[in-house]
Amino acid sequence: MFHIVLFQPEIPPNTGNIIRLAANTGCHLHLVKPLGFELDDKRMRRAGLDYHEFSSMQIHESWTSCQQSLAGHRFFAMTTKGSTRHDHIIYEKSDVFVFGPETRGLPEEIRAEFAANRRIRLPMMPDNRSLNLSNAVAITVFEAWRQMDFAGAD
């Protein structure tokens, strides 16, 4: 299934929502350090991260180690600065969706690693900053999964 990469996530409840989303869609979740929170069991439960036992989650020490672990897959940067709408892509079942930190998005040096057609944006009303991270991940994953006819769902 798809891979969701959260580059340096900062807000535990967003990550908790995304863990739950990954568990319920069969996606693999990748978190790239540094994280804005601790991942011990007590803190995870308090932040709503208690679905982690149902999801496939991997922690990466760096962006480079994340890229290496997913070598051979197609990567897409999800960004308000993207030039391609999320619904204009034909997705493949092992695609990788990379999201930046809540307060600043993906850094320019990482966005620059992606070709223009791999920088994806969600449509929004003009002059707004961005959608909530967990909402943006859900919209992206469900569009890609819809294209796969919701494979594996009951």
Domain boundaries defined on the chain: 3-148
| H or E, element range at 25 | helix 12-25
What pLDDT shows up at residue 52?
Answer: 55
Span 3-148 CATH architecture: 3-Layer(aba) Sandwich (3.40)
Distance of alpha carbon 12 from alpha carbon 49, whole angstroms: 7
pLDDT, mean of residues 94-100: 98
What pLDDT shows up at residue 154?
Answer: 86
3-state SS assignment for residue 38: coil
Residue 78, annotated as binding a ligand: yes
Distance of alpha carbon 101 from alpha carbon 34, whole angstroms: 10
Distance of alpha carbon 107 from alpha carbon 13, whole angstroms: 22
Q: How confident is the model at residue 91 (pLDDT cuts 50, 70, 90)?
A: very high
Residue 6, annotated as binding a ligand: no
What pLDDT shows up at residue 129?
Answer: 85
What's the token pair of residue 69? 């672990």
pTM of the model: 0.93
Residue 82, annotated as binding a ligand: no
Residue 44, annotated as binding a ligand: no
Report the percent of the chain where pLDDT is more than 90.
Answer: 77
